[in-house]
Amino acid sequence: MEHELRVPFSLGHSALTPERFAIAHRDRTMRSIARAAASAAAVLATGALIGFAFQIRSLASLFPEHATTKPNTALAVLALSVAVGGLASPAFVGARRLRTRAASLFALLLAGATIAQYAFEWNLGIDELLFRDAWTSSPQSVPGRPSLAASCALALLAIAVLLTGRAYAYTAAQACAIAAGSVGALALIGYAFGARALYAFQSYASLGPSTALCLILLSVGTLAAVPDRGIAGLAAAASVGGAITRRLVPVALGVPFALASLAQIAAQRGIVSPQLAMALFVVTSTSVIGAVVLHTASSIHRLDGIRSRSEALLRESTGRVRHLSALVDGSRLAIVSFDALGRVVTWNPRAERVFGRRASDAIGRRPSEVFANGPARAIALALEEVLRRGAVQRIALELETRDGESIRGSLHLAPLADWERRTVGASAVLEEESGALALAVAHDAARRLLARDDLPPEARAEAEAVLRAGEPS
């Protein structure tokens, strides 16, 4: 089923312009990413709790041979998932704001208590408060106790959520979220490449793969929950910086990891030697990233050329508009223009004198408000025909200015079209029969009379007086 998207058009400030629509769409997209990341982390945490409840190790860890997500870690992740989901809501006020803060404080308290147990060698009795940990057999590890790295990362995420709601501390909030996500990313890279030092920060405390993935998801969710600022704002921006971010960051993060994985697999299976695998990784990753950078630079260069040409055309158009405006203002004809709604847009000085109203009083008003009562209705009806049907209209007018000058003429109304030939306004030009045109006709008649030999003296004197009346003093 197809749905038609209708965007209302209005001249007011509340109009949904294409730019505002694009910003709103990016805003919804980033908030959806934040909610999806929080939901995925909540699913992993719920699976860990179910795994401990029913002794299903595959639910407590993505890989049964690796460390599990401890119950307290799962509780903190669930609390932070609720907090990130609330933070991603456009209406972050009232009960939702209180719920988000309460969930963040709970996660911070739980992670802080675990950190205190490591720091002061305490046993607060919270490690196996929910479920017994039958899978921790190392004598150096405390059953049910989350790793120090996981606890520190969860504390950073809780702080990030608490600070994100405060504009003055958003930079610190981003730093905390990125640091927590980096802990999870290092652990996953360690698992992928068999580098134990990246996920087992101590000989007795390791960070499980499901916990690491939860940290990454919550970090991404926290950053994307506020799409108008920081990294999320840059990634969602319609600017050149936003385009570079969206194009280069995924490549810079994903290509080395993918190529390094392929190189390791090839070396492990004996396809190539470890040295050759490393060399191929360096050359390939450099080539791919370099190609993407050059392609992006070429796109930016092309856009910059388009921008430069557009600016030049704009300057040229501005000069033409100014020249045309000067011609209209200096014209001896009364010239008025209207927009598509029939409101006055321009009103030249001759129109001020003829119609007896200043431009500042006429612009933005309708014909019934700026013209005299007599011709106002006729002009309004003719203007409606021009705007509706695009037909040229002519109205005969007889006016008297405030200075007592009688003016007779024809008001010609014609449509103004855009580049798609749509009527976007109308122009009105008053061609006067008095003034310069009448004087020119009188001069021509006087010259013809003076050319006659049989012209009486009284008539000759009158004709000479008419000619003198048009000469500059």
Residue located via tokens 């203002």 = 329
Contact of 342 with 380, CB cutoff 8 Å: yes
**Cβ of 44: how many Cβ atoms within 10 Å?**
21
Phi, psi of 461 (to 5 degrees): -65, -40
The pLDDT score that the predictor gives to residue 52 is 93
CA 410 to CA 399: how far, in whole Å? 11
Q: Which two tokens stand for residue 54?
A: 């029913």
CA 350 to CA 341: how far, in whole Å? 24
pLDDT (tens, 9 = 90+) of the chain, 473 residues, equals 333 333 333 333 334 456 666 777 888 889 999 999 999 999 999 999 999 999 999 899 888 888 899 999 999 999 999 999 999 988 777 888 899 999 999 999 999 999 999 999 899 999 999 998 888 877 667 899 999 999 999 999 999 999 986 767 888 999 999 999 999 999 999 998 888 878 776 544 678 999 999 999 999 999 999 888 888 888 888 788 888 888 889 998 899 989 998 998 999 899 999 899 999 999 999 999 999 989 988 988 888 888 888 888 888 777 766 767 777 777 778 888 898 888 998 899 988 888 888 888 889 888 888 887 678 888 888 888 888 888 888 888 887 777 777 778 888 888 888 777 788 888 888 887 755 555 555 556 667 666 766 666 555 555 555 555 544 43
CA 384 to CA 181: how far, in whole Å? 63
Q: Name the β-bridge partners of 429.
A: 335, 412
Helices (H), 89-229: 94-120, 148-164, 170-193, 209-224
- Residue (of 16, 12, 5) closest to 341 by Cα position: 12
Which amino acid makes up residue 42? A
Q: Which two tokens stand for residue 269?
A: 């299976």
Domain boundaries, the chain: 18-237, 239-330, 331-434, 439-469
Q: Which two tokens stand for residue 418?
A: 């855009």
**What's the distance, CA 161 to chain centroid?**
24
DSSP state of 346: E
Which amino acid makes up residue 98? L
Instruction: Please compute, for residue 268, the number of CA atoms within 13 A of its CA located in the half-sphere on the CB side.
Output: 9
**Total H helices, total E strands in the chain:** 16, 5
CA 266 to CA 271: how far, in whole Å? 5
Q: Is 117 exposed, middle or buried (0-12, 13-18, 19+ CB in 10 A)?
A: buried
Q: Supply the CATH classification number for the domain 331-434.
A: 3.30.450.20
Q: Is 310 exposed, middle or buried (0-12, 13-18, 19+ CB in 10 A)?
A: exposed
**What's the distance, CA 259 to chain centroid?**
34
CA 207 to CA 190: how far, in whole Å? 10
**How many residues make up the chain in this entry?**
473
Helices (H), 166-273: 170-193, 209-224, 230-236, 240-268
Contact of 426 with 447, CB cutoff 8 Å: no
Contact of 181 with 194, CB cutoff 8 Å: no
State the first-to-last Cα distance of the chain, in angstroms, to the nearest integer: 79
Secondary structure of residue 456 in the 3-state scheme = coil
